[in-house]
Amino acid sequence: MNKRRIVIIDNDLQHRETIKNLLTAIDAQFFDVTGNNCTAALSRIRPDLIIITITAALQNGDGGLCLLLKENPSFSELPLILIGHGEEAEDIAQGLATNAFFYLDAMEVADKLVPTVRQAFDKHGTLQKSRHILIVDDSHSVRLLLEKELVKLGYRVRCAENGREALALLRQEQPDVILSDVYMPEMNGIELCENLHADPQFASIPFVVMSTENDAGNMRKMMQFGAAAFIIKPFNLEQLMLTLNKIFSYEFLLLLKENERLSSEQKHLLAGITSLVKALEARDNYTRGHSERVSQILAGLVGFSGGSQREIERAMIAGRLHDIGKIGIRDNVLMKPGRLSDEEFDHIKQHPAIGATIIQNIPSIADILPVIVSHHERVDGKGYPQGLQGTEIPLWARLTAVADTYDALTSDRPYRKGMGHSQALTVIGEVAGSQLCPDCVRIFLEWSKRKTNLFSPTEQPGDAADPPPTGVSPYSA
């Protein structure tokens, strides 16, 4: 086994010899380097560890030599031990604090140098072994070149020709970072990034996009899906290493952890709100499961209309929370078995505004506000709360209105039995253009043809049921 290589940087020979004498317990090769020729010497030696004294570090002023080493892609991944004393050394140490940096006070060198060197080797070895890069590019030459250079630098590398192949590899083993081209057959980089961002298992993996300079639109889109960085083609190895070093930096890893924590908190918050809605509906046998059924229909319509995986998931959330405002409606109104009085109906019409008040303070789901606020608007302008008409009503709110209506028609109420599937479709077709958006109704009818049944295992499309009493609107509150 080759001995590890330790470079000692100091202009004073006696200082370098003292450090080597303290490290006799370490089985390593030692190389003396002065600050004047350090970068050329380091490139030739290819060390495993650098030890630098404060005297050498200050040679370029304000610790410039240390900064030069940590910012150079060829050396920035190497463990660096700075030996010094006083405020100047401590200031430099604080500015360079990373996973690969260690500071020793000169007064403690005799006792702590050997354990610090061992700690540096252990930590660096662990980090290198854990750093696994997945390259996704349909160009064989690009994959081959990147793999060759990254393996030389100690990374584990796997390659995929397209997004679909990458997903298969991801399920076998998660990489620490993904380098992906944009334009590829079967599944391109945008679709891959979107799929990963939507999956909690993979969402925290840093995704680096390799693309051409004229892809500004795609870059913005992929940033929304969580891309961590972009490299403009053609790029050199130094640019790639700078990007990877930033991603593997201590600060970036802390940021990823913080994002994971916030994401987890948001999921728990969303789960709590959804549970509140379920608890609200569970008090009434006639509305139990309503929001979940609406969410399934809405997500189906969004997917059928060409929505992305992320949009389908957002639609699920919107459907589940569309009636969140009913938390603020009095029980004697919400669960009244008969017709509502005008005063009671005015009260229940407040639930979209109440829902908006609840959701607008949660940034992670602010995008579903239009569904909560506008799902009771009508295309003829006779809905509430704003009396919007036609396309003034947001698209997802119009789709939710169709889903809401279908579930209201097919659910039992105290004053009527729920309709069968085919009869509900007939009624929905009749109110298209007045209550419901005709385009959204057409989407719903086409989508429903592809479903053998929507929810109930006992109810098949076409089952008959008693019609609602005359004058009862299918469009529930």
Name residue 92's amino acid: I
Residues 226 and 234 sit within 8 Å (Cβ to Cβ) = no
Query: Which whole-number Å values give the CA distances from 121 to 6, 48, 125, 127, in the listed order?
Result: 10, 8, 6, 10
User: Mean per-residue pLDDT for 106-114?
Assistant: 89
Residue 383 has pLDDT above 90, yes or no: yes
pLDDT of residue 472: 35
| Lowest model confidence (mean pLDDT) among 93-102, 272-281, 314-323 | 93-102
Beta strand segments in 3-100, E: 4-9, 28-33, 49-53, 80-84
Locate 439 and state its tokens. 């385009």
- Domain borders along the chain are 4-129, 131-248, 283-449
This prediction has a pTM of: 0.48
Average pLDDT of span 119-146: 79
Query: Domain 131-248 - what CATH class?
Result: alpha beta
233-290: pLDDT as tens digits: 777 777 787 788 777 664 455 555 656 666 666 666 667 777 767 666 666 555 678 8
CATH domain 283-449 topology = Hypothetical protein af1432 (1.10.3210)
Q: In whole angstroms, what is the distance from residue 476 CA to residue 342 CA?
A: 15
Residue 405, judged by CB atoms within 10 A of its CB (0-12, 13-18, 19+), counts as buried
Q: For position 467, what pLDDT does the model report?
A: 34
Spatial distance between the Cα atoms of 252 and 246, rounded to a whole number of angstroms: 7
Share of the chain above pLDDT 90, in %: 29
Q: What is the pLDDT of residue 364?
A: 74
Would you tell me which CATH number, out of the four given (3.10.440.10, 3.40.50.2300, 3.40.50.720, 2.170.130.10), belongs to the domain 4-129?
Answer: 3.40.50.2300
Predicted pLDDT of residue 153: 73
Q: Are 98 and 75 in contact (CB under 8 A)?
A: no
Decide if 4-129 and 131-248 have a common fold.
yes
Q: Is the pLDDT of residue 419 over 80?
A: yes
Q: Is the pLDDT of residue 137 over 70?
A: yes
Q: What angle do CA 349, 351, 357 make, to 5 degrees?
A: 135
Query: For residues 384 and 60, which has the higher predicted lDDT (pLDDT)?
Result: 384
Listed in sequence order, the residues at least 6 apart from 28 whose beta carbon sits closer than 8 Å to its beta carbon are 3, 4, 5, 6, 48, 49
Question: Is residue 411 within 8 Å of residue 418, measured between CB atoms?
Answer: yes
CB atoms within 10 A of CB 284: 15
pLDDT value at residue 459? 39
> How far apart (Å, rounded) are the C-alpha atoms in residues 212 and 471?
61
The residue with greater pLDDT, 330 or 475, is 330
Residue with tokens 């609840």: 358
CB half-sphere exposure, 462, CA atoms < 13 A: 3
User: Quick one: pLDDT at residue 468?
Assistant: 34
What percent of the chain is predicted at pLDDT more than 70? 76
Question: Whole-angstrom Cα distance, residue 14 to residue 376?
Answer: 83
| 145-154, 184-193, 254-263, 395-404: which is most confident | 395-404
Alpha-carbon distance 209 to 193, whole Å? 9
* CA distance linking residue 398 with residue 414, whole number of Å: 27
Integer Cα distance of 67 and 69 in angstroms: 5
Residue 165's alpha-carbon distances to 19, 198, 205, 310, 344, in angstroms, are 51, 18, 17, 20, 57
pLDDT, residue 380, reads 96
- Spatial separation of the C-alpha atoms in residues 80 and 66, rounded to whole Å: 9
Question: Is the pLDDT reported for residue 351 higher than 60?
Answer: yes
Mean pLDDT of the chain: 79
Least confident range of 2-6, 169-173, 401-405: 2-6
Dihedral over Cα of 465, 469, 473, 475: its sign: negative
d(Cα 133, Cα 55) in Å, to the nearest integer? 38
Is the predicted pLDDT of residue 100 greater than 80, yes or no?
no
pLDDT at 135: 95
Q: How far apart are CA 467 and CA 477, in angstroms?
A: 19
